[in-house]
Structure 1
Amino acid sequence: MQTGILLAFAAYLSFALGDATLKAIGHRLPVFEVGFFISLIALLPALFTKRPEDSWASVFVPKRPALLAVRMASGTIGGILGVVAFTSLPLAEAYALIFLLPIFVTVFSYVVLKEEIGWRRWLAVLGGLLGVILVVRPGFREILPGHFAAVGVAICGAVTVIVLRVLGTSERRVTLIGAVLVAAVAANGLLMLTEFVMPTRELWPLLVFGGLVVGVAHLLLVFATRLASAARVAPTQYSQIIWATVMGAMFFEEFPDVVAMAGMALVAVSGLFTFVREKEKTDWPEKTPLLRNR
């Protein structure tokens, strides 16, 4: 179990490196083109998530294609919005908004799955919203499209979680990962045709590195959940706020103030509490394959 948790920390460090790479690329390439190349390159290491007993033919034949299509759509849209968020906002600020995801999961669970939500989980929802207000401070700071994009990432991620709960373990993880990456490649590939710009020599290493670390992160996360339960692995995703703060300071001269740091901490605590309560009240660790939901 300890090895699984360490692998999970390594996975989310890899995801954070991928997001930092998006920020480094910035607006030097169109959004859809960045999504295309990152998703295409990420496919290579992600293919190693296939179990030896599974045939390639079975991997590409989903058992519940309609729900998998929703998962593909939410993952693809979330990925596109993620590029917008990370190229427009400080890394830590983008993560604070994206980590509204457990809050949206709570709301969607109540509305869609008709789960009983206690007052403590609703209190965590309010705490997360307060944390976001401290980070963004509407009325005192300019609201950018990236802020809306980051919230959109959280909503797409919450949709993915709900879909995965319904799917349970009926689909193979390589199918769930590969389908989203293939959908992202196809959607971004079509959308980028109208404004394609050939990447410069300086950008190719960033695109290759960004794609590889994202693919490796998926691989590490699958191995982590084979060694430790999803309930144990899930909280490690909040380490991304720490990685983002460190990378933002080191590479992009981004230094959150005390109020923003307090807001990020409140968002993280609210999200962690939500996960703990859901573990106690629902059987999500057994039903939901843990993937990076955006």
Structure 2
Amino acid sequence: MTRMSSSANGIAVAFLAYAVYAFSDASIKALNDALPAYEVAFIGAVLGFAAVPFLKSADDRWTDLVRTSNRGLWLLRFAAGAIGSIASIVAFTKLPMAEAFSLLFLLPSFVTILSVVFLKEDVRWQRWAAVILGFIGVLVVLRPGFRELSVGHLAAAVGGVAGAIAIVIVRAMGPGEKRLSLYGSVLLGTLIVSGALMLSSFTPPTPMEWLFLASYGLLGALGNVLLMNAARMVPANLVAPPQYSQMIWAILFGYLFFDDTIDLPMAAGIALIVLSGLLTLARERKRGTPLPTSVVSADSQASLATAPDVTDPMLPRENA
């Protein structure tokens, strides 16, 4: 197989992974708010264990799910993962899919801001311009004062910030931290936090709701596996940009299944937010720094697929 053919196949697998994530998120929307978000998150986390055997390398042990070189940062990622997963589920439940995606796509901007504050990264005017463009897009989408905002909008913002914190922690911990440990922090965080919230009340799902829950959890796990394989075939800077194809799926699903509508100002705002994210990715690629991998999904594990991991010799090194 030629290098060009391998790259094309890797990019195709990445597009497929993001399509699978979009179907997973649509499954949340299809539940129609019938179940509490923490219950959906708990069942999704249980099913998320299906991806573990595929993420586990030959040198990994099962105990690596909880083993770490920095327990404090691991626990912070544990909390951020749980909050991000539950908040993203609320966002997809309460908002039109395209609107939820557009707000969650602010994640690259949040990564830039947090990287400056906590990692002391040198961020030049081009990346700040992308951040400002993204926030202008949000104002256009939300039009505060002209339309009513809901808990879904707040949840989307919280989900974006929590996802950014989880990604910045990956950067702070360095490439020596095993991917299985990073995956375990979010998986176990979501499982334990949402499980604790379920202790006070549990709504038994109907057979149809179980079908949507299985679709959400298993497709999320499949998306992780597909994206990891895409990252093994091509550098991370080719895997990250196709994530914005999720917006096409969101608009399509919203129109066909959920009676969602998008007016002209919202379309313009979405375009600005997507452009902001693409400019951030392009700038990161030019500087040769780790990409923010701003995968948008209620399954916040997706960013690990292109996270650097020195313990996995199969991953490309030049741009990871």
Q: TM-score range by the shorter chain?
A: over 0.9
Query: Which moved further from structure 2: 207-216 or 118-127?
Result: 118-127
Provide the C-alpha distance between the structure 1 equivalents of 2:270 and 2:52, rounded to a whole number of angstroms.
Answer: 30
> Structure 1 residue 246 and structure 2 residue 252: aligned?
yes
The alignment's C-alpha RMSD in Å is: 2.0
Show the 5 A alignment for 1:257-268. Answer: 257-268=263-274
Compute the displacement of 1:283 (Å). Answer: 2.1
Give the number of the structure with larger relative contact order, counting CA–CA contacts within 8 Å between residues 6 or more apart. Answer: 1
Contact 1:59 1:175 in 2 (8 A): yes
Over residues 60-115 of structure 1, what are the superposed CA-to-partner deviations in whole Å (9 max), with x where a residue is unaligned? 42233222222221111100101110100000000100011111111112222222
Query: Which moved further from structure 2: 155-164 or 168-177?
Result: 168-177
Select which of 46, 51, 57 maps to 1:40: 46
Select which of 272, 277, 280 maps to 1:271: 277
Provide the C-alpha distance between the structure 2 equivalents of 1:140 and 1:177, rounded to a whole number of angstroms.
Answer: 41
TM-score, normalised to structure 1, is 0.93
> Structure 1 residue 236 and structure 2 residue 242: aligned?
yes
Show the 5 A alignment for 1:1-294. Answer: 1-285=7-291, 292-293=302-303
Question: Which consecutive residues of structure 2, in runs of 5 or more, have no partner in the other structure?
Answer: 1-6, 296-300, 305-320
Provide the C-alpha distance between the structure 1 equivalents of 2:294 and 2:64, rounded to a whole number of angstroms.
Answer: 18
Compute the displacement of 1:232 (Å). Answer: 1.4
Question: Which consecutive segments of 4 or more residues in structure 1 shift more than 6 A?
Answer: 287-290
Provide the C-alpha distance between the structure 2 equivalents of 1:59 and 1:204, rounded to a whole number of angstroms.
Answer: 27
Contact 1:99 1:267 in 2 (8 A): yes
TM-score, normalised to structure 2, is 0.86
Question: Which consecutive residues of structure 1, in runs of 5 or more, have no partner in the other structure?
Answer: none
Over residues 101-131 of structure 1, what are the superposed CA-to-partner deviations in whole Å (9 max), with x where a residue is unaligned? 1111111122222222212211111111111
Contact 2:294 2:303 in 1 (8 A): no
One-letter amino acid matched to 2:239: V
Aligned residues: 293
One-letter amino acid matched to 2:76: V
One-letter amino acid matched to 1:183: G
Provide the C-alpha distance between the structure 2 equivalents of 1:212 and 1:124, rounded to a whole number of angstroms.
Answer: 34
The structure-2 alpha-carbon separation of the partners of 1:161 and 1:59, relative to structure 1 and needing over 3 Å to count, comes to closer
Provide the C-alpha distance between the structure 2 equivalents of 1:254 and 1:111, rounded to a whole number of angstroms.
Answer: 38
Compute the displacement of 1:259 (Å). Answer: 1.6
One-letter amino acid matched to 1:137: R
Provide the C-alpha distance between the structure 1 equivalents of 2:174 and 2:67, rounded to a whole number of angstroms.
Answer: 16
Over residues 117-171 of structure 1, what are the superposed CA-to-partner deviations in whole Å (9 max), with x where a residue is unaligned? 2122111111111111111111111100110110111111111121111122222
Contact 1:165 1:288 in 2 (8 A): no
Contact 1:74 1:156 in 2 (8 A): yes
Provide the C-alpha distance between the structure 2 equivalents of 1:229 and 1:293, rounded to a whole number of angstroms.
Answer: 14
